[in-house]
């Protein structure tokens, strides 16, 4: 019979000191097994990601010759754009040189891109579905107007974040509202729908973290199909799945650089920021899922309960006015005094 390895022997300890030593021994063995399993499952980065990391570290020298960047494939250009944005190197010249017509997302947040650069980019990327212009202090309401006018498939828009961008968001609120124009033709069949309706017709999700109460009420009343600041939920929003690009805590271009070393865009003196992952329904216990479902349903039903309470209060006041003689006399006296003041 083969002798057992010393690491595989399990001896029942006696006494408190032996118990502690036994626990430490088991913890050490478990840690070694866990580390070995992590090393086995961890995949090495792809060669393309390693090359992009090297390019990103020297991007400030490379962008001086933008003709070099124009020859890269589409996915490589998108990754370089994401790195340039994180390194505070994204401006009009860089984004115009890298833009591709096949892009469906465009993250310009916290960059030096202006209205001029935005206009040229949306002429190229007219099929964009998600756009982030938050903290872009050089983009004004004119740029937002041109964005809505040319990007007819835009579904997700992020803005705000800094004082100038907040001002641009408030002044551009009317641009998102649907408006009708007077168009004359010989027959209604000859009318072009793009000439009749203006506004962000395809927009469904608006990420504006510091939205004021008046703007939120205005959007809720005049643009009810635009969902503002959706919250992560296991059950979506009113049965609609929330796209990851519409979640405020997730960078729009995060998936582009997920395999690239974050040290690539860390500048000297800055601190690397990490985003909190959103837990999926599989990672949450079933009791927690039921609790979240109850809390979400309670929050969804709160406006309806308040509305029913107001209706019951108005009904009670109306019944009191119709049945109580004192209430009728008070109402008649108030009406007579009002008539006397008008004479």
pLDDT tens column, 238-266: 667 888 888 888 889 999 998 888 888 87
- Asked if the model's pLDDT at residue 196 lies above 70, the reply is no
CATH classification at residue 222: 3.80.10
Residues 145 and 26 in one domain: no
Angstrom distances, CA of residue 17 to CA of 10, 39, 173: 16, 33, 70
The structure tokens listed for 10 are 């399990």
Q: E-assigned strands of the chain?
A: 105-107, 130-132, 156-158, 179-180, 197-198, 205-207, 227-228
- Is 250 inside a domain boundary? yes
Give the pLDDT of residue 186.
Answer: 56
Strands 197-198 vs 179-180: parallel, antiparallel or unpaired: antiparallel
Spatial contact of 210 and 169, defined as CB atoms under 8 Å apart: no
Q: What is the DSSP letter of 153?
A: T
The pTM for the full model equals: 0.63
Give the pLDDT of residue 244.
Answer: 86
Spatial contact of 134 and 158, defined as CB atoms under 8 Å apart: yes
Cα–Cα–Cα angle for 129, 132, 135, rounded to 5 degrees: 165
- Asked if the model's pLDDT at residue 7 lies above 90, the reply is no
- Is 34 inside a domain boundary? yes
3-state secondary structure of 117: helix
Give the pLDDT of residue 275.
Answer: 46
Angstrom distances, CA of residue 109 to CA of 34, 90, 97, 136: 39, 9, 18, 6
Residues 300 and 260 in one domain: no
The structure tokens listed for 18 are 């032996």
- Is 178 inside a domain boundary? yes
pLDDT interval class at 14 (50, 70, 90): very low
Most confident of 62-76, 149-163, 277-291, 308-322: 149-163
Between residues 318 and 17, which one has the greater pLDDT? 318
Residues with Cβ < 8 Å from 180, sequence gap 6 or more?
196, 197, 198
Residues 292 and 171 in one domain: no
- Is 197 inside a domain boundary? yes
- Give the range of the structural domain holding residue 170, as residue numbers without chain letter: 47-182+192-267
- Asked if the model's pLDDT at residue 287 lies above 70, the reply is yes
The total domain count for the chain is: 3
Residues 301 and 206 in one domain: no
- Is 150 inside a domain boundary? yes
Give the pLDDT of residue 330.
Answer: 77
- Is 272 inside a domain boundary? no
Residues 172 and 143 in one domain: yes
Residues 226 and 243 in one domain: yes
- Asked if the model's pLDDT at residue 168 lies above 90, the reply is yes
Average pLDDT over every residue of 187-207: 68
């Amino acid at each position: 019979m083969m002798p057992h390895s010393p690491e595989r022997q399990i001896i029942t300890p006696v006494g408190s000191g032996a118990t502690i030593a036994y626990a430490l021994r088991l913890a050490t063995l478990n840690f070694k097994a866990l580390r070995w399993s992590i090393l086995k499952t961890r995949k090495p980065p792809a060669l393309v990601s390693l090359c992009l990391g090297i390019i990103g570290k020297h991007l400030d020298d490379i962008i001086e010759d933008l003709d070099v960047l124009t020859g890269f494939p589409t996915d490589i250009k998108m990754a370089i754009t994401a790195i340039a944005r994180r390194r505070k190197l994204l401006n009009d010249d860089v984004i115009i040189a890298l833009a591709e017509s096949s892009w469906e997302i465009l993250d310009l947040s916290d960059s030096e891109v202006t209205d001029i650069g935005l206009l040229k980019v949306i002429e190229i990327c007219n099929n964009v579905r998600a756009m982030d212009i938050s903290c872009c202090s050089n983009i004004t309401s004119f740029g937002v107007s041109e964005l809505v006018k040319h990007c007819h498939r835009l579904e997700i828009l992020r803005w705000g974040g800094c004082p100038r961008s907040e001002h641009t968001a408030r002044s551009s609120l009317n641009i998102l509202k649907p408006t009708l124009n007077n168009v004359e033709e010989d027959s209604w069949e000859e009318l072009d729908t793009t000439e009749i309706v203006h506004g962000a017709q395809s927009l469904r999700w608006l990420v504006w973290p510091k939205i004021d109460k008046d703007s939120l009420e205005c959007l809720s009343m005049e643009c009810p199909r635009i969902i503002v600041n959706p919250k992560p939920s296991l059950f979506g929003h009113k049965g609609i799945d929330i796209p990851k690009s519409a979640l405020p805590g997730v960078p729009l271009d995060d998936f582009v650089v997920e395999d690239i070393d974050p040290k690539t865009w860390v500048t000297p003196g800055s601190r690397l920021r990490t985003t909190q992952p959103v837990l999926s329904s599989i990672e949450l216990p079933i009791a927690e899922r039921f609790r979240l479902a109850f809390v979400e349903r309670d929050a969804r039903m709160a406006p309806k309960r308040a509305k029913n309470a107001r209706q019951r209060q108005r009904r009670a006041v109306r019944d009191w006015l119709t049945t109580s003689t004192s209430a009728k006399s008070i109402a008649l006296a108030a009406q007579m005094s009002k008539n006397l003041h008008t004479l």
